Chains A and B, each alone.
Chain A
Amino acid sequence: MNALILATDNVNVAQNVAFGIIAAVMIFAALSVVTTKNVVHAALWLVMVLAGVAAQYVLAAAEFVAVSQVLVYIGAVMVLFLFGIMLTRAQIGKETGLNNKGWALGIPVALVLFGLLAWVIVDAFGDDVLPDRGPAPTVMLSDQFLSIYLLPFIAISFVLLAAAIGAIVLARKD
């Protein structure tokens, strides 16, 4: 019994159950991001969504990507978000006027985006089974981005350069 539930070698029951739970939590958190009346709470719900993504990566055996997700998105990007919110409008409590008149327009846009992404993913992978990873996925990762994806990798450094220049230009105008 125990062996059946917890075995992850070939039976994917536990994995699927975990996927479902995490996905449900993520959807709830995502809805809360847009419905909550407090900007900081919205940011925290977003953190929850991003953490859910990281958990899904772990389930898919992409641990390094999961950790990158936590380090970059939760540890850096969301900290910047929260800095931005906390330091400019530090009021606590419910806020009004967070929605503007066009908010209803967001719903069809979100649905279309979801449909598009779902279609792309199903079209690309369909019923593919997750491949069994070799002994060292991290090695594979570096092998990939330093060979096939070298150009995007180097391009990233220039994107970062552009971002830094942008940050300075925006920030120094006080």
Chain B
Amino acid sequence: MLALDPILEGPLLWTPLFIIIGKVLFIFVVGLVATMFMVWYERKVVSGMQNRIGPNKAGPFGMLQTLADGIKSFFKEDLLPTRADRIVFRLAPFLAFVPAFLLWAVIPLGGDFSNGNDGTVTWFGHVTRVQLADPPVGILWVLAMSSIGVYGIMLAGWSSGSKYPLLGSVRASAQMISYEAALGLSLAAVLLSSGTLSTAGIVAGQNSLVDWNVISTGIVPFVIFLIAVTAELNRPPFDLVEAEQELVGGFNTEYSGIRFALFFLSEFMNVVTMSAIMVTLFLGGPQPLFDIPVIPGALEGTIWFLVKLFAFLYLFVWLRATLPRLRYDQLMDLGWKVLIPISLGWFLLLAALREFSPDGDAAESLRVVVISFVVAVIATGLFAAALKVSARNRAAANQPADNTGVTV
């Protein structure tokens, strides 16, 4: 069965067990190092874009700056506000960073996918995958973890017993669940072309450049997914959660010392893991674009994976340096009234195309597209009418209710 990691089939013996433990430790270290790197990378790239120097003291090019900051946070006083809910306040950082770690488990980090290989490698005489686990519902694991991640932010804000964190966390959780819907719908389009929920299976299905889901699903789900992920990560331009001008520091205002460090860690780790998820879903994960000579296939997969990952990391930093923050109503309108209808419609279009023109026959495809276009026009008209009705009701409600009041 493709969807399972072969090493975990059958009775477990010592060698596979050691391989698993080795993998877990490796993933753990990779997670921490990648996060530390991401923090440094973001600071360095942003400073380059803003014509500054950025971190340059600790280690070569300041690369150890994050490590220094991390060590420093151990020595900082860890405050527990008087009005905080003590248990939940302590629990919230765990709810934020444990799911962030667990996301690594299903990401294919490498493997030999060249020439249609299925991506397994042989270590110590055991066939396995270069990913921690490959459950049959792998990609839904990602959604599940990100929906648990909402709790960390929500509870951190509430348990602080302070108004800015509460406001920030309510904003954040509403924003995150809104964009999770768009995320889930655009993911459905990928599943349509891959036909499996396993991450390794999704990667294996993207054999050549035209099979990469970014192309085979027609770029729209990719763009929606990218926007939704940016919002899900509370990254600029969707970083209303920590809009400094309004909310001080957002949900983690009352956190200090190591607790704050763990929130910070999970935030940046999520950037890396979500980029990796996008690489897996849309850019073929460790699938090579062309064969690199000399380097063995198994290592090549990891190299390709890292190259693609960097593209996304750079994109996120670039977005941050370029785009101004959205207003909250604009943010919600974008999520609910633009991304969600488009992703649902696009999913149905792709499903119809696959259903009624499975061989990609031009005439049949054209017919499906024309019919879909008509349906889309009707749906858009309906939706526009709904928007108009709501705008009218709103305008009516905007009339001052009582004349005794002074409109401020």
Answer whether A and B touch in the complex at a CB cut-off of 8 Å.
yes
Interface residues of A in 87-136 (CB under 8 A from B): 87, 90, 92-93, 135-136
Q: In angstroms, how far is the closest chain B Cβ from the Cβ of A156? A: 16
Is A150 an interface residue when CB atoms closer than 8 A count as contact? no
- In the assembled complex, the Cα of A161 lies from the Cα of B170 at a distance in Å of 26
Q: In angstroms, how far is the closest chain A Cβ from the Cβ of B382? A: 15
In the complex the two chains form, is A7's CB within 8 Å of B88's CB? no
Contacts of B148 in A (CB 8 A): 70, 74-75
Interface residues of B in 124-176 (CB under 8 A from A): 135-137, 140-141, 143-144, 147-148, 150-151, 154-155, 158-159, 161, 166, 170, 173-174
Q: Which residue of B lies closest to A58 (CB)?
A: B135
7 additional A-B residue pairs with CB within 8 Å, beyond A7-B10, A64-B140, A76-B177: A2-B13, A2-B14, A41-B88, A86-B166, A92-B85, A135-B1, A135-B3
Q: How large is the interface on A (under 10, 10 to 19, 20 to 34, 35 or more residues)?
A: 20 to 34
Is A33 an interface residue when CB atoms closer than 8 A count as contact? no
Within 8 Å by CB of A87, from B140, B155, B170, lies B170
In the complex the two chains form, is B12's CB within 8 Å of A7's CB? yes
Is B232 an interface residue when CB atoms closer than 8 A count as contact? no
In the complex the two chains form, is B166's CB within 8 Å of A71's CB? no
Of the A-B pairs whose beta carbons lie under 8 Å apart in the complex, a sample of 19, sorted by A's number, is: A3-B11, A3-B12, A40-B85, A64-B137, A67-B140, A71-B140, A74-B148, A75-B143, A75-B147, A75-B150, A75-B180, A79-B147, A82-B158, A86-B158, A87-B170, A92-B158, A136-B3, A136-B136, A138-B137
Q: Which residue of B lies closest to A6 (CB)?
A: B12
Q: In angstroms, how far is the closest chain B Cβ from the Cβ of A92? A: 5
- In the assembled complex, the Cα of A67 lies from the Cα of B140 at a distance in Å of 7
Is B321 an interface residue when CB atoms closer than 8 A count as contact? no
In the complex the two chains form, is B85's CB within 8 Å of A90's CB? no
Q: In angstroms, how far is the closest chain A Cβ from the Cβ of B90? A: 13
In the complex the two chains form, is B147's CB within 8 Å of A71's CB? yes
Q: Please, how many residues of chain B have a CB less than 8 angstroms from a CB on the other chain?
A: 37
Contacts of B143 in A (CB 8 A): 67, 71, 75
Count of A-B contacts judged by CB separation below 8 Å: 91
Provide the B1-37 mask, 1 if CB < 8 A to any CB of A, else 0.
Answer: 1010000001111100100000000000000000000
In the complex the two chains form, is B150's CB within 8 Å of A63's CB? no
- In the assembled complex, the Cα of A38 lies from the Cα of B91 at a distance in Å of 15
Interface residues of A in 23-40 (CB under 8 A from B): 38, 40
Q: Which residue of B lies closest to A72 (CB)?
A: B147
Contacts of A136 in B (CB 8 A): 3, 136
In the complex the two chains form, is A82's CB within 8 Å of B154's CB? yes
Most buried by B among A67, A75, A86, A87: A75
Contacts of A7 in B (CB 8 A): 10-12
Q: Which residue of B lies closest to A172 (CB)?
A: B393
Q: In angstroms, how far is the closest chain B Cβ from the Cβ of A112? A: 33
Q: In angstroms, how far is the closest chain A Cβ from the Cβ of B145? A: 9
CB-CB under 8 A for A47 and B151, given A3-B12, A71-B143, A93-B85: yes
- In the assembled complex, the Cα of A90 lies from the Cα of B177 at a distance in Å of 21
CB-CB under 8 A for A86 and B154, given A2-B12, A74-B148: yes
In the complex the two chains form, is B85's CB within 8 Å of A70's CB? no
Provide the A1-27 mask, 1 if CB < 8 A to any CB of B, else 0.
Answer: 011001101000000000000000000
Within 8 Å by CB of A9, from B1, B10, B135, lies B10
Contacts of B177 in A (CB 8 A): 75-76, 79
Q: Which residue of B lies closest to A51 (CB)?
A: B148
- In the assembled complex, the Cα of A135 lies from the Cα of B159 at a distance in Å of 45
Is B334 an interface residue when CB atoms closer than 8 A count as contact? no
Q: Which 8 A-B pairs have the closest CB atoms?
A: A75-B147, A3-B11, A67-B140, A6-B12, A70-B144, A7-B11, A92-B85, A63-B137
Is B87 an interface residue when CB atoms closer than 8 A count as contact? yes
Q: In angstroms, how far is the closest chain B Cβ from the Cβ of A109? A: 30
Is B241 an interface residue when CB atoms closer than 8 A count as contact? no
In the complex the two chains form, is A90's CB within 8 Å of B158's CB? yes
- In the assembled complex, the Cα of A137 lies from the Cα of B1 at a distance in Å of 12
Is A83 an interface residue when CB atoms closer than 8 A count as contact? yes
- In the assembled complex, the Cα of A64 lies from the Cα of B159 at a distance in Å of 33
Contacts of A6 in B (CB 8 A): 11-12, 17
- In the assembled complex, the Cα of A40 lies from the Cα of B144 at a distance in Å of 21
In the complex the two chains form, is B17's CB within 8 Å of A2's CB? yes
Provide the B174-209 mask, 1 if CB < 8 A to any CB of A, else 0.
Answer: 100100100000000000000001000000000000
Q: In angstroms, how far is the closest chain A Cβ from the Cβ of B81? A: 10
In the complex the two chains form, is A92's CB within 8 Å of B140's CB? no
Is B57 an interface residue when CB atoms closer than 8 A count as contact? no
